[in-house]
């Protein structure tokens, strides 16, 4: 589609350069006022105010802090654009003049530093910019534009909270759902693929039961520390020995906790792990293998009780619809030129964006927008050091504003326009 020559002459993009100073200020403001998952009241307020000013009907408080804006503009397709709003409990170390010094109280009552180290501040800014431009150019398209500012992507709760709060009943069903994420990659480029684009993620807590005793009398104990250590090592064989070379999975034990004193054998131990998969079959096999290994090692230790395995969170596999992806990629190539549209493999990151399309039975497309200084990226690539660039969630993750900000507004507008023709 988009064969009617609406490229850089797209009426919706004619005023983009004039809007950039305002969007730059907006970005810096949100960046220096980050909010934890489900606490995004200030950010949501800004989103709602801007949508109203652009002429959208606005509903706030959808899934606690989510905001939905509708711009009904005659008969035509409904296109949903989604941005997530939450920040992370990370101490920012970018050294930027507008770096966050914010602190907040997390859901467990702990005081934590907060910063936008996943770039959701950029996502909010992009969507604020794209909705304004599309609203101003509404005589050049028909249909309904639906802007969704989602809370709590980082905890996997936000999309579900909006769905549970009636998103599918209270608002028109879209013909397509579009979303994007700032990632490591040359700024000014976009990257996408049909099929799996981000992985399924499962976080599990495993509580192991032993029997505590004095450290000098191990015969009186069932040592959960040794049990946990065996489990951690044995879990490493799941991906290396049970997943085929042509398949892929990641299994990381991120938490291993037991004991309080060197001469006391504790009663129990806690393991927390994270699994990433790109295929439903691989996922169920890996999860079954974890359960098998954990239970067998507990039995081997003579544990008095079966381990408790509980889910901490789950992100579904995020699958880009074939046809819709092709339409977006063609529009990108036409607008940006082929050199700025990069292919990408599926990212081992996870996203709850996929829930909207999967549960609403609507095709969805999710793509990446490069945020790395192109010279820095080229040097790292030539030195085979791409892995050393600060990635999302690193305390040093800092997208370059120019041209990342402009590129992400353009990509949202161009992708939406692939459906919303005159
Ligand atoms: Zn993140
Ligand atoms: Zn993110």
Q: Which residues belong to CATH 3.40.630.10 in the chain?
A: 11-199+317-420
Contact criterion met (CB below 8 Å) for 224 and 208: yes
Q: Separation of 260 CA from ligand 2 center, angstroms?
A: 35
Around ion ligand 2, residues with a beta carbon closer than 5 Å are 118
pLDDT bucket at 422, cuts 50 / 70 / 90: low
pLDDT bucket at 1, cuts 50 / 70 / 90: very low
Q: What is the pLDDT of residues 373-418, one digit of tens each?
A: 999 999 999 999 999 999 999 999 999 999 999 999 999 999 999 9
- Cβ burial of 302 (10 Å; 0-12, 13-18, 19+) is exposed
The predicted pLDDT at position 311 comes to 96
Q: Options 3.40.50.1100, 3.90.1280.10, 1.10.10.60, 3.30.70.360; which CATH number does 200-315 get? A: 3.30.70.360
Q: Separation of 117 CA from ligand 1 center, angstroms?
A: 7
Closest ligand by atom to 393 CA: 1
Q: What is the pLDDT of residues 73-95, one digit of tens each?
A: 999 999 999 999 999 999 999 99
Task: Indicate whether 2 pLDDT > 80.
Answer: no
* Global pTM value: 0.88
Contact criterion met (CB below 8 Å) for 19 and 406: no
Task: Indicate whether 355 pLDDT > 80.
Answer: yes
* Torsion 394-400-403-406 (CA) sign: positive
Average pLDDT over residues 56-61: 98
Instruction: Give me the percent of the chain exceeding a pLDDT of 70.
Output: 98
The predicted pLDDT at position 349 comes to 86
Q: Separation of 142 CA from ligand 1 center, angstroms?
A: 34
H/E stretch holding 387 reads: none
Contact criterion met (CB below 8 Å) for 275 and 202: yes
Q: Which residues belong to CATH 3.30.70.360 in the chain?
A: 200-315
Task: Indicate whether 8 pLDDT > 80.
Answer: no
Q: What is the pLDDT of residues 106-124, one digit of tens each?
A: 999 999 999 999 999 999 9
The two three-digit tokens of residue 344, written as one number: 């990408």
Average pLDDT over residues 209-216: 97
Average pLDDT over residues 278-291: 96
Distance of alpha carbon 138 from alpha carbon 185, whole angstroms: 32
Average pLDDT over residues 362-372: 98
Q: Separation of 122 CA from ligand 1 center, angstroms?
A: 12
Phi, psi of 412 (to 5 degrees): -65, -45
DSSP for 6-45, written as a single string: -STT-GGGTTHHHHHHHHHHHHHHHHHS---TT--HHHHH
Q: Pinpoint the alpha helices (H) of 172-277.
A: 224-237
Distance of alpha carbon 274 from alpha carbon 314, whole angstroms: 10
Task: Indicate whether 183 pLDDT > 80.
Answer: yes
Distance of alpha carbon 12 from alpha carbon 137, whole angstroms: 5
Q: Separation of 336 CA from ligand 1 center, angstroms?
A: 26
Q: What is the pLDDT of residues 241-270, one digit of tens each?
A: 999 999 999 999 999 999 999 999 999 999
CATH superfamily of 11-199+317-420: Zn peptidases (3.40.630.10)
């Amino acid at each position: 589609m988009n064969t009617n020559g609406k490229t850089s002459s797209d009426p919706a993009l004619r005023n983009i350069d004039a809007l950039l100073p305002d969007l730059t200020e907006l970005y810096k403001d949100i960046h220096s006022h980050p909010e934890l998952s489900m606490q995004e009241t200030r950010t949501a307020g800004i989103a709602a105010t801007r949508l109203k000013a652009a002429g959208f009907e606005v509903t706030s408080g959808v899934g606690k802090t989510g905001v939905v804006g509708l711009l009904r503009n005659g008969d035509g397709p409904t296109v949903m654009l989604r941005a997530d709003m939450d920040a992370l409990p990370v101490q920012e170390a970018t050294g930027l003049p507008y770096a966050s010094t914010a602190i907040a109280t997390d859901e467990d009552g702990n005081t934590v530093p907060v910063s936008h180290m996943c770039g959701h501040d950029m996502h909010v800014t992009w969507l604020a910019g794209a909705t304004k431009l599309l609203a101003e150019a509404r005589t050049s398209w028909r249909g309904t534009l639906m802007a969704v500012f989602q809370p709590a992507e980082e905890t996997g709760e936000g999309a579900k909270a909006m769905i549970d709060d009636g998103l599918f009943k209270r608002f028109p069903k879209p013909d397509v759902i579009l979303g994007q994420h700032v990632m490591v990659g040359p700024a000014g480029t976009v990257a996408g693929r049909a099929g799996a684009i981000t992985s399924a993620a499962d976080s599990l807590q495993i509580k192991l039961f032993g029997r505590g005793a004095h450290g000098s009398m191990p015969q009186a104990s069932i040592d959960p520390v040794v049990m946990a250590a065996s489990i951690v090592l044995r879990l490493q064989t799941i991906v290396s020995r049970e997943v085929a070379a042509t398949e892929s999975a990641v299994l990381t034990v991120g938490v291993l906790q037991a004991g309080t004193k060197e001469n006391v054998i504790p009663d129990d131990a806690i393991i927390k792990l994270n699994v990433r998969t790109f295929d439903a079959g691989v996922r169920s096999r890996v999860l079954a293998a974890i359960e098998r290994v954990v239970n067998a090692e507990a039995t081997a230790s003579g544990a008095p009780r079966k381990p408790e395995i509980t889910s901490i969170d789950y992100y579904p596999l995020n699958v880009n619809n074939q046809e819709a992806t092709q339409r977006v990629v063609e529009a990108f190539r036409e607008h940006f030129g082929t050199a700025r549209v990069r292919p990408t493999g599926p990212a081992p990151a996870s996203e709850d964006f996929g829930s909207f399309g999967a549960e609403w039975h609507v095709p969805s497309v999710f793509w990446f927008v490069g945020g790395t200084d192109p010279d820095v990226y080229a040097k790292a690539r030539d030195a085979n050091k791409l892995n050393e660039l600060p990635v999302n969630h690193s305390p040093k993750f800092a997208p370059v504003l120019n041209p990342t900000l402009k590129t992400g507004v353009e990509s949202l507008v161009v992708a939406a326009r692939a459906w919303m023709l005159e």
